[in-house]
Amino acid sequence: MPQSKIFTEPWQGYELIDAGGGKKLERWGNVITIRPELQAYFHSGSPFSEWKKVAHWEFVEKRANKGIWKPLKKNVLDKWTIKYDRLTFQLELTNNKHIGLFPEQKINWEYLEANLTPEDKFLNLFAYTGASSCIGRHVGADTYHLDSVKPVISWAKKNMELSRLMNIRWVHEDALKFVNREQKRGNKYKAIQMDPPAWGLGAKGEKWKLEDKIDELLAATASILREDGFLILNTYSPSVDQNILKELIEIYFPRRHNSVNGLYMNTTSGKHLYFGELVRVGEIS
Q: What rounded mean pLDDT belongs to the chain?
A: 92
CATH class of the domain whose range is 98-281: alpha beta
Q: How long, in residues, is the chain?
A: 285
Q: Which of 276, 283, 220 is nearest to 248 (CA)?
A: 220
Do 165 and 95 contact (CB within 8 A), yes or no? no
Taking the model in full, what pTM does it have? 0.92
Q: Which of 281, 178, 274 is nearest to 232 (CA)?
A: 281
- Residue 214: the pLDDT is 86
Return the bridge partners of 125, or none. 194
Tens of pLDDT, residues 242-266: 988 999 999 999 989 999 999 999 9
Domain segments of the chain as ranges: 11-82, 98-281
Write out residues in the chain with pLDDT < 70, as ranges: 1-2, 198-209, 283-285
- DSSP assigned state of 5: E
Write b or e for each residue in 98-110: b if 16 or more Cβ atoms lie within 10 A of its Cβ, otherwise e: bbbbbbbbbbbbe
- Residue 237: the pLDDT is 79
Torsion of CA 178, 169, 85, 154, to 10 degrees: -90
Q: Which of 213, 211, 171, 172 is nearest to 189 (CA)?
A: 171
- Residue 285: the pLDDT is 43
Torsion of CA 231, 281, 206, 127, to 10 degrees: -30
Q: Does domain 11-82 have CATH number 2.60.40.1260?
A: no
Tens of pLDDT, residues 148-195: 999 999 999 999 999 999 999 999 999 999 999 999 999 999 999 999
